[in-house]
Every structure is written in structure tokens, then in C-alpha cells.
Amino acid sequence: MNPEPNIFRINFTSLDRFPVFIDYDMDGMKCRGMSAKIDLFSYGALTAEIDKFSKKDLEFARDEGIFIRKSGLLFESGFFLFDFKYLQKSPEKFIEKVRNMNLEVVYLENSKHFQMDSVVADLDFCRAHLMEFDDASHG
């Protein structure tokens, strides 16, 4: 039996974690999981930012992810949006991207739509943690 990965449960006052990788449905241009909560608590500011993207920008973001840093969007240092549906199709590409960032620690959304445990396990060159908002337990 594998031990449960370390899950960080945060609230809206402890948002100093970085880097954070959050799920977003790039095909449907809609929030999913933690990005939906970020959008809700920022009064639609995340959706407003994504709505500015061209189709080409969205295709790039779907394949490569995108860094979001805007006042009022919670995480003080910003966060990365990735479409976890595509991340799951080729996790090795994401893992290599994180490896090239030379990070000591990373936080990935504990998605209720996609199993991220194996991705976290494969990030064995750094400390990788699943993260969720305190009121969004998956247990």
C-alpha cells in the first residue's frame, strides 16, 4: 500500500506558496477545481484575464501552461495554469518542464477530476505536494 501523498490544505489567508500548478479547462475556457474558487473569490478576474486570450494563446497555454500574476488573484507570487487533461496525456513533458525550472518544492492542485498522485511521485527530484482549499477535502 502506497502512503497518501502529503496534502497541504490552505485557506484564503495563507497564500504564500509558490510555485502552484492549478487546473483550468483550456478547451472549454472555463475554470475547474481550484481555479473556479480563485475566480469566485476574485469576482471573475481570472475569467476576465483568460477571455483576453486569442485562440492561438489558448492553444499555447493548453500545451505549455501559463503563468498568472495579477493583483487580486490570490497567490501573492502568482500561479501556473495547466489543463490537467492534457498534462495527464503526457505527464513526462510536464515533469521535464518542472525539472528544468530547478525548483526545490512544488504544489499541484489535488484535483477531483484527475489523479495527480503519480505525477507527484514522479517529481522525485524535488519536494512535491498536493494542495487544496481547506473546505475542499477529497477524503
Contacts for 15 with CB less than 8 Å, ≥ 6 apart: 74, 75, 76
Is residue 85 one of the residues assigned to a domain? yes
Is residue 7 one of the residues assigned to a domain? no
Is residue 97 one of the residues assigned to a domain? yes
Is residue 129 one of the residues assigned to a domain? yes
| Average pLDDT of the chain to the nearest whole number | 84
Q: What is the pTM of this model?
A: 0.85
The Cα angle at residue 77 between residues 74 and 79, in degrees rounded to 5: 70
Work out how many domains the chain is built from and give that number. Answer: 1
Is residue 12 one of the residues assigned to a domain? no
Is residue 11 one of the residues assigned to a domain? no
Residue-range definition of the domain harbouring residue 102: 17-133
Is residue 56 one of the residues assigned to a domain? yes
pLDDT tens track for 4-55:
557 877 766 656 778 999 999 988 889 998 899 888 878 888 888 889 988 8
Are residues 24 and 32 in contact, defined by beta-carbon separation less than 8 angstroms? yes
